[in-house]
Structure 1
């Protein structure tokens, strides 16, 4: 089964939705038969590359609210995040242009390091307040998950993978994605946003049943005496 996820690294509900999906997959019994592909989505590509405005200031301008009102709004999001084990720190978050981060994600995908890369960037942004729009920060975070610095610099110093990022965004537009996170199960079922946890589990079950998947056996008890490869434990 394939699950495609459109998300952005500065979207608070994308990290929450990521955790919900991971939990549903782990508990489904189909974990080894599910492939998850993260696709690019830019919430605000007009954000200047060098802008690192405090998130409360940015939200106040965007929604025409006082800073106190934005703090109350983000406090509610932080509560949602905590429910899935994430300790959001809005006090240290800054605005960021994520175009370069998405291009590097395509390199990480080629090198089979996309899961670690995506997790590291979201953790860096929401929990640590890292400026993930800055090349120096991206280089350091990418190296932390095993990406070669020379290859990372090559991507950042060029327009490499820009076409793939744009293709993801175009595909999202074609299937009607207006916001993220957006999850597509086996190119048939879609979930928009960080919905209640049971919905993820139900959708996986339905898609798996239609695909004819069989759940993995869950072992119970301790390992007992057994024979394998022509030998028996005595």
Structure 2
């Protein structure tokens, strides 16, 4: 199973959906899957717009006790290090830790010293980490992730795309994600065949 997840670290709904996704995967004992993180940096107008949606405010208040809205701030360093973690096969560990620090411990996560501590905790090379934070060498990848999302019609976070064809926008509970994953797994065991003329799609 291929799971693509477009994220921004200032979005509490992204944190909640990510948390629920990780728990759903663990509880389903899913073994054969790739979890691929994609950057989708929110700009300030979109961030402020999301803060005004009553449904989202309700979900955040119900699911993140003691949530502190720290306001918009640049998350470039976090996205830079996320790409380095991805390159080193530590993307899941990085995202779990960063989201936890942001929304459980209310930390501003774009601080260089904080990110160096994160790198240490997940065994990411510290020299390489500092080079990335100094040079911001993943600018192209971060920009490309967002442009690619827009090309696919993805205009908000969080966004999940499973096995290329299944798309899910916004907040999903753990049970909803377990149901989605189970359904897709079952569907893959019994693929439907659709024929038109001499051509068939499986």
TM over 0.5: yes
Give the deviation of 1:27 after TM superposition.
Answer: 3.2
- Within a 5 Å distance, the mapping from 1:1-234 to structure 2 comes to 1-29=1-29, 31-44=30-43, 77-81=60-64, 87-90=65-68, 93=70, 95-212=72-189
Measured on the aligned residues, the alpha-carbon RMSD in Å equals: 2.8
What runs of 5+ residues in structure 1 fail to find an aligned partner?
47-57, 64-69, 82-86, 214-234
Q: Is the 8 A contact 2:5 2:36 kept in 1?
A: yes
Instruction: Quote the offset at 1:45 in angstroms.
Output: 6.7
What secondary structure does 2:135 align onto? coil
| SS in structure 2 of the partner of residue 39 of structure 1 | strand
| Gap change, CA 1:174 and 1:136, over 3 Å in 2 | same
1:228 is matched with which residue?
none
- Secondary structure in 2 aligned to 1:33? coil
Q: Is the 8 A contact 2:44 2:72 kept in 1?
A: no
SS of the residue corresponding to residue 157 of structure 1 reads helix
Distance, in Å, in 1 between the alignment partners of 2:24 and 2:102 is: 24
- Distance apart, 1:13 and its partner CA: 0.4
Task: After TM superposition, give the deviation of residue 5 of structure 1 in Å.
Answer: 0.5
1:224 maps to: none
Q: Distance in 1 between matches of 2:154 and 2:141?
A: 17
Normalised to the residue count of structure 1, the TM-score between the two structures is 0.70
Conserved 8 A contact 1:5-1:39: yes
Aligned residues of 2:5 and 2:160 also touching (Cα < 8 A)? yes
The total of aligned residue pairs comes to: 187
| Cα distance in 2, alignment partners of residues 126 and 182 from structure 1 | 19
Kindly name which structure, 1 or 2, has the bigger radius of gyration based on alpha carbons. 1
Cα offsets for 1:182-230 (capped at 9, x unmatched): 00010010110113444322321232234339xxxxxxxxxxxxxxxxx
Structure 2-normalised TM-score?
Answer: 0.80
